[in-house]
Amino acid sequence: MKGDAIVKQVSSKNTKDAKISTLEVAGVFVAIGSKPNSNQWQELLSLDEGSYIITNEVMETKIPRIFAAGDVHHNSTRQAITAAGSGATAVISAERFLSF
């Protein structure tokens, strides 16, 4: 980042060809990405290419009665409200299994 009191430019380095590019900017938001902590499930459950756990519409994984919800599941929109919603779906699905 370059500038005096405020940022005016950012430079980035391409990790493949080491080329440096510079961009004029008025502000910067840093996003470092995220990776789900699903390693311990990779042998048992199906994970997608991003290591998110694949579930059906009631949040059940490929193993009956094992559920995944929140940011860790495939196709999550990674928002608090959708994480809570998928958690509620998983709990209700589990409760239905326990009722029978």
Ligand X SMILES: Cc1cc2nc3c(=O)[nH]c(=O)nc-3n(C[C@H](O)[C@H](O)[C@H](O)COP(=O)(O)OP(=O)(O)OC[C@H]3O[C@@H](n4cnc5c(N)ncnc54)[C@H](O)[C@@H]3O)c2cc1C
Residues making contact with ligand X (CB under 6 A): 37, 70-71, 78-81, 83
Cβ proximity to ligand X, 12 vs 79, nearer residue: 79
The structure tokens listed for 68 are: 């995944």
For residues 25 and 71, which CB has a smaller minimum distance to ligand X in the complex? 71
Q: What residue type is 60 in one-letter code?
A: E
CB closer to ligand X out of 65 and 78:
78
* Residue with the shortest CB distance to ligand X: 70
Distance CA 79, CA 66 (A): 22
Rounded to the nearest whole angstrom, what is the least distance from the CB of residue 78 to ligand X in the complex? Answer: 5
Placement of tokens 């430079």 in the chain: 11
Compute the least distance from the CB of residue 22 to ligand X, in Å.
Answer: 27
**How far apart are alpha carbons 16 and 21 in whole angstroms?**
13
Amino acid 100 reads: F
